[in-house]
Every structure is written in structure tokens, then in C-alpha cells.
Amino acid sequence: MGERPMQKESWGRSSASLGVTAAVRKLLWASFMCSIVLVLQNLAQPATADPVLASSVGFCKPVRLEATQEEKDRSVQCCLPAPRRTPKRFQLPRVHHLRVRRPAHELANDVEYVNKYNLAYERMNALPADDPRSFLRQWHTHCSFCKEAYLQRRLNNSATGYPLQLHYSWTFLPWHRMLIYFHEKILGSLIDDPDFTLPFWNWDNQLDATAGQIPQIFLPYQQSTRWPRQHGRHGKIRNTFLYEGKRRNPNHMPPKVLPLTFDASLEKERANWTHDQIRHANLGQVYEMVYNKVSAREYMGGPYDTSSNFTEAVNVTVGESGGSESLHNTAHEWVGMLNNTAYPDNEDMGVFTYAGRDPIFYSHHANVDRLWNVWKALPDKITPDGHRVRRDYDDYDFLETEFTFYDENADMVIVKVKDTLDSRKLGYTYQPMVDADSLWINHKPNGTKPSYKRSDVRVSTSNAIARRPTSFKLTRRAPTAADLRGTQALNVNQLSEGVVLEHVRVPELMYVRFDVFLDSPAATAETDEDESAYVGTFTHLPSGVTTVTDLGQKMVHVEDDDMYRTLNIRFSTSLALKRLGVTDWNTDITVTVVPRFRPHGYGWNIKALTFDCLRQEFT
């Protein structure tokens, strides 16, 4: 505790020394910045439940797809064809046996599987553009729903007038689950194999060095690698569709392993990281972004916002990503063609608009989907109670939310979120990866505690995340019964403590990444993300398209200049506080935000992201 002089001497006081007036003052301070926001939020809460109907029927705003000349000529928007028949309600399949999705790195030499997988894609790609099962339309399904092409509707079919967006909220996991569910079904039907399963890119696996590499399946097979020379029934591996013409970062090919703490601005500095360093950082990252999230809100993201008071012209989404989504963004960023002037948006994977054009996208999401299952089965061991059960939201708004997809018969189906929550009921499961999972589940962050001099501390009073690390003051208090409202905790000791940056305004075209540390005002971009004080990372992937007017020279952005997302960003603090020895509820702390923005991307000239307030919250 010798390292915490600032708390003692300035605004942080231990509970024992708090007089009644001091306590009152403290409470008033805590409510100062955020109270107005909270009141407004409560007023804005709809009186009745408001599940969303996420449908591709009806008005569709064209989304520009023209980063390159090639696309400009070929395609102008990603709206989906209208259904040919009346949409029907999704029925859970009759499950005789579970289809098992297997890890991509274990399938590289399975000639029969790789050839089938590739053939399915070749056939999907050959379907005409008006067929919703075609690869083009599969990509467009993701593009249109991630780029606000459609309008939100209520279940009674009335439009809210706001754009529809399936990221940045609790819809992220169930919507992507069903996206790849139908994608997989379509692939299977095209090769007459109803048991076909997508492979999952098992990037969290640090046990097998090949698991975190771009899987061999998505790369050209070379004589020099482990190319199997089988000349049996199925012959040699043919995987042309799975890699040819895919836009991926040539510097991130095997044996490079996806660093889950990937920071484009530190790529040179970290180029010499040993495999062990990456491995350790990766375990730490999955531990923080999956294990450390106990509540549905922390892991799955916030409720879908249908009631925000925003101006459509300048604001595209209001939302809150969970740990799952933030973690998954890094793989997108790393696979895309970063810093290539011909592909200024980090195509394909690095921008939502194009991500679905790379087959690795669906395999990446299979792992995101797998981790959702793993997360639900994790023990709590984090809240003071220690026995909270991790589970999906059970709010009516969540369960009744509906999505539309095209199935393997090219028919539109309407799926309710409540039917998506158990993958076994959908007929599939994952090959267990118990040993690899347990590495990050049992990870221990480095024991190093931050040390700093009081004179180093500059607590910012403006609500801005600047280009340099910035520290903020967080006023803390104990949870009360009122904090239980809207959570799934059974008592206050089951609440997970967190810090929320509320209403951060993020330009929709900007890649944003920042790390958050507690009580580490001296943290810099070089600070190890695996030290005790680290509480996680926020990542935002762009979903627009930058227009290149002068290829190879200058990137000029001409559209959607003022579009930004308003996001709440939450970090779970219980474990880090424990590690730092903060055991009482009244010790105030500093929150240090370390930005890691993409150096040459859109928004690099933006001096700071502003937000409304920073506060403690229990979920």
C-alpha cells in the first residue's frame, strides 16, 4: 500500500476517516458528473418492453462499396434480395445427433474435409447474385446489418426511425451465431452433406503454436509445408476458393501468431517479441476479456438501444460492446490489409463492410461462438460472493428480439433470440478444447504492481481520451440493493464492479483501441497489458468505406464525415482491485486510458474522443 500515497493525501480517503459530512460530500461528488445523464437515461427507458425486429425486408439504404475501382464497377450496395415466399418462423431442428465443429488447425491435413469445404464455397460462389445463398449475398448479409442499411422495427413492424445495427449490443452474439448457422447449412446443402460443419479458428489456443496462426486451410498449400501427399480416394488438397484473391495482411502469415493485444502503432517495436511473450500476452488478454466478465452485460454487451435521442444525421448507433466483441475485433484488425493504400479500410477483415467477403470470417466467428458457450460454463470466483452463475440475459426485450436470415432453401426465416441461446438445440456443438481453454482460465497476471510518484499524477478533468495516456479519477462506493435492479445478481455480493466511460463518441470510420489500467497513472503504450493493474481493452472496428481519390498517394475521405457512434465502454474492475490490494469500497482510484489508435488510419488526426462521464457501476 506504500505505492498509493496519492489516495491518502488527496481525494481518496479510507472509510474509517470519513466523517458524515465528508461521506455526503463524497456522494455528491460521485453523482456530480453523471447524475444528469442517469436521470435522462431513466426517463428515456421505454415504459413497455421493446424487442427489436432486425429484418432485411423493407427500406434499405445503399451502402457504398467502392474502395477500389474494381468494386466501383461491380457493386453499388449490399442490400439483400426480397424473399420469394412469405417468411416463415424458424423451427428448432430435430436433433438426432450433434454436429461437431472442429478446430481449423487440426483439419489442415484432412484432405476430404478441406476439399469438401472448398467445393461448397466454389458452388456458393457460383450461385447467381439474386440467390440469397450466394457468397456475394452471404457477405452482403453481414455488410448490410453492420452498416445500418436497414431500419430498426418493433415487433409490431412499426419503424423506430433509427438505423439497425447488430454490433455494439447484446445482439452481437446471437445474431452472428445465426449468421454462421445458416451459412454452414447452406454450405452443407450445396455439397449434400447435412452434417457439414465450419471449422473454428481457435486463436485463443496457446497450447498449439499453429492454432493462433492464420489456419493453413485458408492459405495456399505448398510442397514445403506439411502438405499431405495422399493420393487416395480424395487426392490432393484443393483449396483455391479459401485463399485466392483474399485481401489479407501479407506480414501476418504463418508462422506469425495472432497477438490478441495487437497494436498497429507498436508493430515494429513488438516485432521481436518471442513466441513466449505473445503466448503470455494472449493468455492474459483472453483471461481479461472472457474470464474476467461475470455478468451478461460485461461479456455480451449492453441492451439494444431503441430509444436514444440522437440525430440521425450525425450519429449512427448508440450501444455498448461486451468483452466478447472487443476481443474479437483484434483478429479482424490483424487479418486485414493494414497500411495498404490500395485498401485504405484494412480490407477485407479489418472493416465490417468487407469482412464477410473472406471465408476466414465465418471460421473466426465460429470461435467467438464457441467462446460464448465456454463463458457460460465458467465458475464465478470473481464477485465477493464467488458463486454467481454466468448466464445469458433473460430480459423479455432480449429473448423476443427477432432476426431474419435466408436458409438453405433460399427462404427467409424469422428467428427469435430465445431460440439461439443453446447451440445444442440448434444441433451443433464444439470439439472440447479443455486443455487449451484451461490455460487462459487459470492464467495469473504478472504480479507487478504499479508504482508512481504523487508528482506524476495529473488527473484530467476534461472528459476526453486524448492521444496520450490520460488518467481520470473514479469515485467509488459500496453496492446497495438499488444496484441489483436490472441485473441477474441474487444479492449485492454477486454484483460485479466496473467502470463505465459513458457516451464515448467514436467516428464510425476510425479504428480505436485503448487499454485501461487502474491506479497506474504512469502507464504508457509500452506498459505490459498483463500487469496486475490492467483491466482490459476496448476496440472499435470501422464499418464505413474510405474513398480513395488518388490511389497510392492520398486518402481522401468524402462521405459520412460526421458520422459517429455513441458507445458506453465498460471495464470490469473487481479482480484488478483485489490484485492491487484495494479491499474497501471507499478507496477512490485513478483510471488510466492508454490509446493505441491505428497510426495511418482514418481519424489519426483526431485529437481526442470525448465522453459524457466516467463512473463506477455494478452489473
For ligand C2O, the closer of residues 492 and 567 by Cβ is 567
How far, in Å, CA of 174 to CA of 424, rounded? 14
365 vs 598 by CB, closer to ligand C2O:
365
Q: How far apart are CB 128 and ligand C2O at their closest, in Å? A: 25
In the complex, the smallest distance separating the C-beta of residue 329 from ligand C2O, rounded to whole angstroms, is 7
Distance CA 107, CA 239 (A): 13
Q: Compute the distance between CA of residue 216 and CA of residue 38 in angstroms, rounded to an integer.
A: 50
| Interface ranges with ligand C2O (CB under 6 A) | 142, 146, 167, 176, 328, 332, 352, 355, 365
Select 203 or 618, whichever has its Cβ closest to ligand C2O: 203
109: enclosing H helix or E strand: none
Task: Considering the complex, state which of residue 146 and residue 417 has its C-beta at the smaller distance from ligand C2O.
Answer: 146
Backbone angles phi, psi at 48, to 5 degrees: -110, 160
Minimum gap (Å) between residue 16 Cβ and ligand C2O: 48
**Which residue lies nearer to ligand C2O by CB, 77 or 115?**
77
Q: How far is the CB of 146 from ligand C2O (least distance, A)?
A: 5
Output the smallest distance, CB 544 to ligand C2O, in A: 14
What does the alpha-carbon distance between residue 344 and residue 342 come to, in Å, rounded to a whole number?
Answer: 6
Tell me how far, at minimum, the Cβ of 527 lies from ligand C2O, in Å.
Answer: 27
Q: Hunting for cell 479458428 — which residue is that?
A: 201
Decide whether 246 or 332 has the Cβ nearer to ligand C2O: 332
Residue with Cβ nearer ligand C2O (332 or 473): 332
Residue listed under C-alpha cell 478441406: 114
Which residue's C-beta sits nearest to ligand C2O? 146
Taking the CB of residue 570, how many other CB atoms lie within 10 A of it?
Answer: 29
| N-term to C-term CA, the chain | 28
Closest to ligand C2O by CB, 4 vs 328, is 328
Shortest distance in whole angstroms from residue 204 CB to ligand C2O: 15
Residue 541, CA distances (Å) to 322, 348, 531 in order: 14, 12, 25
Contact 401, 152 (CB under 8 A): no
Write phi, then psi, for 82 (nearest 5 degrees).
Answer: -75, 150
How many residues are listed for the chain in this entry? 619
Closest CA to 609 of 617, 618, 601, 597: 597
CA atoms of 172 and 303, how far apart (whole Å): 10
Instruction: Tell me how far the alpha carbon of residue 392 is from its chain's centroid.
Output: 16
**Shortest distance (Å) from residue 332 CB to ligand C2O:** 6
